[in-house]
Structure 1
Amino acid sequence: MLNVHQVAVAQRLDPVSFTAAEGEVIGIIGPNGAGKSSLLEVLVGSVIPHTGQVLWGEENLIDARPMRRRQLVSYIPQQSSVFADITVTELLYEATVNLGWSRAQQHDNIAKLLQEFDLQPFASRSILRLSGGEQRRVHCACALLNQGPLVIADEPTAGLDLYHQLMLLELLVKRARAGALVMVALHDLSHASMFCDRLALLDRGQLIQIGTPNEVLTATHLEQIYRVQVDWFCDERGVAMRPHRIIEKP
């Protein structure tokens, strides 16, 4: 169980409180500058809040040592860069350092992720010779090698084509159903409604509401916070929308 209590970051995030449990996919949504990345950076330890607590069970994540945090958290940052001229497989092996795996475990888990992320054709290719979307898939695979119970993903689908966006989101849901808590920042509200169990809506550093997609993605929230009106379409996989900008009168 994750318990976020009155966590705040100066000039970026007002006091935020919520709980979330293993097995859930929590979507973090909101317009640009809403505080989504600030919240996730607190959870992974790259930003220290000036107030509040983040508890994983009885353990305070804010005070956790880096090695302990690495055991607990799988993190896909918003942006990743690699400057070394190494192959995809070599980078994945580097990502297993300090995970305590045998050589056989490294081989088996890397082979599995190469298949899941559609990276087998690039296994022996330098990562510097991949497209931006292909590099993004490699970085996501590196993060998910860690089998920690808390998965944090900050706009992980950015730069991916539609096929690989759906692939990644399905993998994140799979991790949750296997017992992890997944928290993922998304801009695509259709994807958020399809793949997330609950949504946390942020705006200007404030947590507006946390609830099911139907509870959060209301016409009022979309108009007041996103400044759009939408037509809704429902099918067997979830809810899709056609947005229309609200044009302010002069």
Structure 2
Amino acid sequence: MTALLSLSGLGVTRKKRQILDGVSMEVKPGELVGLLGPNGAGKTTLIRTALGLGAPARGSVRLGGDPASALAPEERARRAAYIPQDRTIAWPVTVETLVGLGRMPHSASRTENRAAIDTAIAEMGLDAMRLRPATELSGGERARVLIARALAQSAPLLLADEPLAGLDPAHALSLMNTFRRLARGGRGLLVSLHDLGIAARWCDRIILLSGGHVIADGPPADVLDAALLERVYGIRAHVSQGSDGLMIMPVDVLEQTHTHTSPDPA
């Protein structure tokens, strides 16, 4: 099975500081992969670099088996959709219009475009506000609109940078259910998360970054153990298996002996 995203020996240096160093990983169809790590670990840089954004990189990035650098921007957008961490909306267009921007890479019929837009709006529970100016929405509502735009793009790969930020618990859990549904339907997702409990509960795989390196890559139960969380995050966490699966509860901050870098500039 061809990976939707493949990174090999990825390295990024910015202002003489190593942000990523020798990162190799894959996301395959049907996978919901959680990208975890403390602030400054390199998560945002990894996602942006995979999309050809930001600083030049060493190593290789492949989308759908092809070098990303060889793909035209429209083809790259047909293969990978992006939910950025920044929720700024500059123009007072309607929610419906903004979601419709996700269809720009496609040469599809009006009927196909309309169906994709309507499905994305319904998925994110935005029907009641589809004609409202997007600039008048709350932070959480803007987040849902930008996620809907990415869903309307209908790309096989979805890269999401902290998509739960600003969402209340109900919308956060609903979004993770949506992501899981997309993965079960054959899409591949790489989702940057800070909530260890949500990552443990919903993700098929966890990639744990620290200091620009992949520290662990595997099933949540293998990666999210108390000793590793102590080493990477400097926390004491209660880890257990319950009727709902793997449960993680951060309990306290320990002495700051972990080695992650300063906040990620990207």
TM range (shorter): over 0.9
- Confirm or deny that 1:3 pairs with 2:6: yes
Residue ranges of structure 1 left out of the alignment (5+ in a row): none
Query: CA offsets, 1:29-68, max 9 Å, x none?
Result: 0000001111111111103543101123431013322111
Mapped contact 2:50–2:61 kept (Cα < 8 A): yes
* Alignment match of 1:124 (pick from 108, 122, 131): 131
Q: Distance in 2 between matches of 1:58 and 1:247?
A: 43
Letter matched to residue 149 of structure 2? C
Letter matched to residue 7 of structure 2? V
Give aligned pairs, total: 249
- Confirm or deny that 1:183 pairs with 2:186: no
* Alignment match of 1:95 (pick from 66, 89, 102): 102
Mapped contact 1:48–1:62 kept (Cα < 8 A): no
Q: CA deviation at 1:216?
A: 0.6
2:233 corresponds in structure 1 to: 226
2:222 corresponds in structure 1 to: 215
Structure-2 change in CA distance of 1:19 and 1:247 (3 Å): closer
After superposing on structure 2, the runs of 4+ consecutive aligned residues of structure 1 that deviate more than 4 Å are none
Q: CA deviation at 1:95?
A: 2.9
Farther-moved stretch of structure 1 (68-77 vs 94-103):
94-103
Query: CA offsets, 1:96-151, max 9 Å, x none?
Result: 22322222222222222222111111111111221110011000000111111111
Q: How does 1:113-152 map to 2 (within 5 A)?
A: 113-152=120-159
Q: Distance in 1 between matches of 2:226 and 2:99?
A: 43
TM-score normalised by the chain length of structure 2 = 0.88
2:66 corresponds in structure 1 to: 59
Q: What SS class does the counterpart of residue 55 from structure 1 fall into? A: strand
Query: CA offsets, 1:209-242, max 9 Å, x none?
Result: 1011011111111111111111234333322222
- Confirm or deny that 1:81 pairs with 2:121: no
Q: Distance in 2 between matches of 1:18 and 1:96?
A: 28
Query: CA offsets, 1:159-215, max 9 Å, x none?
Result: 111111111111111111111111111000111111111101000111101011011
Q: Distance in 2 between matches of 1:25 and 1:185?
A: 11
Q: Distance in 2 between matches of 1:100 and 1:237?
A: 43
Q: What SS class does the counterpart of residue 121 from structure 2 fall into? A: helix
Structure-2 change in CA distance of 1:3 and 1:108 (3 Å): closer
Q: What SS class does the counterpart of residue 26 from structure 1 fall into? A: strand
TM-score normalised by the chain length of structure 1 = 0.94
- Confirm or deny that 1:37 pairs with 2:44: yes
Structure-2 change in CA distance of 1:124 and 1:57 (3 Å): closer
* Alignment match of 2:116 (pick from 109, 115, 119): 109
- Confirm or deny that 1:156 pairs with 2:163: yes
Q: Distance in 1 between matches of 2:131 and 2:65?
A: 43
Q: Distance in 2 between matches of 1:47 and 1:13?
A: 13
1:206 corresponds in structure 2 to: 213
Q: CA deviation at 1:28?
A: 0.5
1:27 corresponds in structure 2 to: 34
Structure-2 change in CA distance of 1:20 and 1:110 (3 Å): closer
Identity %: 35
Residue ranges of structure 2 left out of the alignment (5+ in a row): 257-266
Query: CA offsets, 1:8-41, max 9 Å, x none?
Result: 0012111111233211111100000001111111
Letter matched to residue 63 of structure 1? A
